[in-house]
Structure formats: C-alpha cells, structure tokens
C-alpha cells in the first residue's frame, strides 16, 4: 500500500531523514516510535507530501507520489491525515467540518454528505455534537471529529501524527479506542505515537526510528520484549 | 496690529460671531449634500480598493514571481508616495491619456488605487495570520490550493481583517477630503467654498469636522457590532 524507498529530507542544514526505507501492507497497522526529532513526523508528512522529499521515492497504492506529474490532490483524497493539533476548521460546525471536502471535492450532494457525516459521527460517538462548533468541544472530541473528517473521504490509508500528544490524559483513551476500532475494521494505518501501550496492543508492526533512520522494526513483541539494537533498548528503558 | 488682536481676541471674536453661526445654519444643507458626496466617494473607492486589494494580497503571497513583483511594486508606490500627489498625478497627468476625465471619477480611481495598496497589505497579513495547520488540513483532504483558499483560509482571514478594514474605511473617508483640491463637490470642498465667501473659518471648519466625526463614529460603531457578532471563537 505504501512503499518508501531511500527517502532523504533536510531542512536547510538539518538532515531529518537519512535514507528511510519503509513499507506498509494493506490492512496493516504500523506504529512508528522514537525520540523527538528522530524524523518520524517528517516521514509521515512526506507520505502525503505536506513535506517535499529531497530524494527518494514514495509510492501509494502503486502511484508514485514523488513523480512531479502525479496529481497530488487525487492521492491525498485516498490518504487521510490526523494531526497532533486537530486542525479542525473553526468557522464550520462539526458536521460541516466533515462534509466540506466530500461536497467540494467529490461533489457529493449535501443530503448524502450529511448522511455520511452522521454515520461517521456515530462511529466516533459524537452524534449529539453535529451542530456544535469546534470551540465548544473538548480536545478528545475534537480529535475524534478530525478522524471522522478524514474518514469522510473514504481513504485507503490513515496517517496519524501523534494524535494524542496534545490531549489531557483522561481524553487519550477515547481517541485510542476509536483508532483501535478502525484497526479492527481493517483500515491501513500508520501511527506516529508515544503511546507504547497502543503500539503493543493494536500495532501489527512497530518501527523504531532514531536520528533520521529506521533503527529496528518488528512485531510489538520483538520490539518491546526483546529489542536487539542498543538504541532501541535505551529508548524503551526511558519510556516504559 | 497687536498680537492679542490676531491670536487672542481674533479667535474670541470669531467664536462668538453671530455672523458665523448664521453662515453655518444657512450652509448646513449644502454641507450635508457634500457629506453625501463624501460617503458615496468613500464607498465606491473602498469597493474598488477591496476587490483590487484582495488580488494584491494574494499576489504578494503568490509563488508566481511576476504576480509577486507586480503586487509589490503597486503597493510600494501607492503606500510610499503621498495620496495628495497621487490625486494630482492621476487627475492632471495619467487619466487624461485614457479618457476625458472628470474630477469625480478621477477621485474615485485615485482613492480606490491608494486604498487597494493598504487593503492588499491587510489581506496578506490576514491570510498569514490563519494557522498554517488549516492549510495543511485542507490540503491533506485533497483540496487543491484554490479550494483550500476559498473554503478554509479566506473565510477565517475575513474575520481577522475586519478591525484593520474598519480602520482603513475611516482613514479613507477622512483622506477623501484631499480631493477637494480637484474640485470634487464633497464636504471639505464645500466648506472651502463657503469659507472663501464668508471668512468664517472657525464656525465653518468646526462644523465640517463635526460632520466628519459623526460619520466616522457611526462607521466604527457599526464595525464593533459586526466584529462582536462574528466572534464565534
């Protein structure tokens, strides 16, 4: 589903990704962990071209993202993204946040977009918040709406960029629960996270990044119970 | 003549002058007609300034070097030279090359172009003040640049630019008094004409000032209301 080959990315003098090779199979849930500044968010942002790679190739569902001739907007419609800071549209109600892209891009009728949005709100447990504006929602509710908004484009892949890192601790669970449901339904997911419990429980594969490269990857059991690389061991000893 | 007569008693005389009072009462409908011109001029040039200013603001943010250069050059010129000079340059110099120009249309064009430069900067700043995460969210859903701008960025920028836009509105209304110099029959020009006939400077220009003030205060009050109504977050 996703294939990243020899990806390099730097900001000015700062080399963030130094040759990353990475693959995600359909229906797979991959959790990317690692210290701050290791390049995990940048990798995720490269996968839907919010950051432009300096070199290397990225394929989504067989189409090369890094080819300048590829219509990036078409690919992005198939790649949902959930941000650390939610980035809900503050001038739109919850329902409108979800229906905006389907109506404007897929030219769905308002009625069918509303129906789809209410279904998705049901899925994330927020049907009663349909006509509320984002400023009246808690952090956890905002993030669940953001997930519903991304799902409304019926993407083939969902990217999560530290979706619970800016939440109060008591709200982390509700967001992770929604993500777990998605994983069970068979959504292909790449989750950059500091929630080791989630990575262990829900992830099919865990990727440990440090200093711009993938240091070690494997099943959650391999990474958490029996890490081989000293850098993985050092990181896990600090966070677990 | 002793100084006290020029500065002291002279002012005292003119303030208490029965004649000055009579002149203002008599000319008041004439002044109000001028205020009508002032308001119409301001509205028309502000509309022109907003349309052109939106494009200038987008041009300043454009990745297209030509658009960026043109917008920047336009804004630099109209912000960097006096409006009074621009009015004369356009009325006597540039516009006659294009059509048989009259004072009123020339005034609207001069004021419109000048306010466009300021509004261009307001629009640019307003767009840049919208959280970049909004653009990312819109683009990540598959919207192209234009869709993200239209549905996500500009509606939010609109709210941000209301206070500076009200400022610009008020500044433009006051600056429109400068076109009295090219004989547009607006408020200041009419005050000038009555002054030339009667020499009742204090009474005339004080009442002109009051009329300007009443209009600008009305605009800022309406602006405050609009701002409060749109404040959803």
Cα nearest neighbour of B133 on chain A: A87
What pLDDT is stored for residue A197 in this prediction? 94
What is the average per-residue pLDDT within B19-42?
94
- Neighboring chain B residues of A89 at a CB cutoff of 8 Å: 134, 137-138, 152, 156
Min Cα–Cα distance to chain A from B141, Å:
5
Tell if the CB–CB gap between A89 and B141 is shorter than 8 Å.
no
Tell if the CB–CB gap between B142 and A90 is shorter than 8 Å.
no
Which segments of chain B does DSSP mark as H helices, in order? 3, 10-16, 18-60, 65-80, 83-88, 103-129, 132-140, 145-147, 154-175, 187-198, 201-230
What is the average per-residue pLDDT within B5-33?
75
- Kindly state the helix (H) or strand (E) to which residue A84 belongs, with its residue range: none
pTM confidence score: 0.85
Tell if the CB–CB gap between A91 and B147 is shorter than 8 Å.
no
Tell if the CB–CB gap between A153 and B143 is shorter than 8 Å.
no
**Both tokens assigned to B135:** 């653009």
The number of CA neighbours under 13 Å toward the Cβ of B204 is: 21
Among B21, B39, B45, B57, which Cα is nearest to B113's? B45
Confidence of residue B228 (pLDDT cuts 50, 70, 90): confident
Among A92, A106, A8, A24, which Cα is nearest to A57's? A8
**How far does Cα A117 stand from its chain's mean position?**
20
Residue B18 has pLDDT above 90, yes or no: no
Min Cα–Cα distance to chain A from B228, Å:
15
Cα nearest neighbour of B159 on chain A: A91
Distances (CA, A) of A163 to A16, A25, A197, B36: 21, 21, 14, 57
Q: What is the pLDDT of residues B96-145, one digit of tens each?
A: 999 999 999 999 999 999 999 999 999 999 999 999 999 999 999 999 99
Q: What is the pLDDT of residues B57-92, one digit of tens each?
A: 999 999 999 999 999 999 999 999 999 999 999 999
User: Dihedrals φ, ψ of B125, to 5°?
Assistant: -65, -40
Residue among B134, B143, B155 whose CB faces A101 most closely:
B143
Distances (CA, A) of A13 to A16, A17, B193: 9, 12, 67
User: Dihedrals φ, ψ of B146, to 5°?
Assistant: -70, -45
B110 neighbors B83 (Cβ within 8 angstroms): yes
Rounded CA separation B65/B72 (Å): 10
Say whether A17 sits in a helix, a strand or coil.
Answer: strand
Cα nearest neighbour of A150 on chain B: B141
**Both tokens assigned to A82:** 């959930």
- Chain A positions with Cβ closer than 8 Å to B: 48, 50, 73-74, 76-77, 79-81, 83, 85, 87-91, 100-101, 104-105, 133-135, 146, 149-150, 153
What pLDDT is stored for residue B91 in this prediction? 98
Residue B12 has pLDDT above 80, yes or no: no
- The pLDDT > 70 percentage for chain B reads 92
What pLDDT is stored for residue B16 in this prediction? 63
The shares of helix, strand and coil residues in chain A, as percent rounded to the nearest 5, are 40, 25, 35
Q: What is the pLDDT of residues B147-172, one digit of tens each?
A: 999 999 999 999 999 999 999 999 99
What is the CB neighbour count within 10 angstroms for residue A194? 15
What pLDDT is stored for residue B13 in this prediction? 59
What pLDDT is stored for residue B126 in this prediction? 97
Mean pLDDT by 10 residues, chain A (240 residues): 95 94 96 94 95 95 92 95 96 96 96 96 96 96 97 96 94 96 96 95 96 95 94 92
The number of CA neighbours under 13 Å toward the Cβ of A35 is: 15
Tell if the CB–CB gap between A85 and B133 is shorter than 8 Å.
yes
Tell if the CB–CB gap between A87 and B147 is shorter than 8 Å.
no
Domains (ranges, CATH) in chain B?
37-232 (1.10.3720.10)
């Amino acid at each position: 589903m996703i294939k990243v080959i020899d990806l390099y990315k730097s900001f000015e003098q700062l080399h963030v990704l130094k040759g990353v090779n990475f693959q995600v199979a359909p229906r797979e849930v991959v959790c990317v962990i690692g210290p701050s500044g290791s390049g995990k968010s940048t990798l995720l942002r490269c996968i839907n071209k919010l950051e432009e790679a300096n070199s290397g190739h990225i394929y989504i569902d067989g189409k090369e993202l890094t080819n300048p001739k590829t219509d990036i907007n078409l690919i992005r419609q198939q790649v949902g993204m959930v941000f650390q800071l939610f980035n809900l549209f503050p001038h739109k109600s919850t329902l409108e946040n979800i229906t905006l892209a389907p109506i404007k891009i897929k030219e769905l009728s308002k009625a069918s977009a509303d129906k789809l949005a209410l279904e998705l709100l049901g899925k994330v447990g927020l049907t009663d918040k349909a006509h509320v504006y984002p400023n009246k929602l808690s952090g956890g509710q905002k993030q669940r709406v953001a997930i519903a908004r991304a799902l409304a484009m019926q993407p083939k892949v969902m990217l999560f960029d530290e979706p619970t890192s800016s939440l109060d601790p008591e709200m982390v669970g509700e967001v992770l629960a929604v993500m777990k449901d998605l994983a069970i339904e068979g959504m292909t997911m790449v989750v950059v996270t500091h929630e080791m419990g989630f990575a262990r429980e829900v992830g099919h594969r865990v990727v440990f990044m440090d200093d711009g490269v993938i240091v070690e990857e494997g099943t959650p059991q391999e990474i958490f119970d029996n890490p081989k690389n000293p850098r993985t061991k050092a990181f896990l000893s600090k966070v677990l | 003549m002793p100084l006290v007569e020029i500065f002291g008693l002279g002012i005292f005389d003119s303030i208490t002058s029965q004649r000055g009072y009579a002149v203002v009462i008599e000319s008041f409908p004439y002044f109000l007609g001028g205020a009508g011109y002032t308001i119409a001029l301001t509205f028309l040039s502000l509309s022109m300034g907003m349309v052109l200013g939106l494009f200038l603001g987008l041009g300043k943010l454009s990745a297209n070097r030509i658009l960026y250069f043109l917008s920047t050059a336009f804004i630099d010129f109209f912000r960097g030279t006096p409006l009074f000079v621009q009015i004369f340059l356009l009325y006597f110099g540039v516009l006659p090359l294009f059509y048989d120009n009259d004072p009123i249309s020339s005034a609207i064009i001069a004021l419109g172009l000048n306010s466009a430069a300021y509004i261009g900067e307001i629009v640019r700043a307003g767009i840049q003040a919208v959280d970049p995460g909004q653009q990312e969210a819109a683009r990540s859903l598959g919207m192209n640049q234009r869709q993200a701008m239209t549905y996500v960025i500009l509606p939010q920028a609109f709210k941000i630019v209301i206070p500076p836009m009200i400022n610009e509105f008020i500044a433009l209304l006051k600056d429109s008094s400068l076109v009295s110099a090219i004989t547009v029959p607006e408020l200041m020009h009419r005050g000038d004409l009555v002054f030339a006939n009667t020499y009742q400077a204090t009474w005339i220009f004080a009442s002109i000032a009051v009329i300007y003030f009443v209009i600008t205060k009305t605009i800022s009050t309406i602006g405050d209301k609009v701002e409060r109504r749109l404040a959803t977050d």
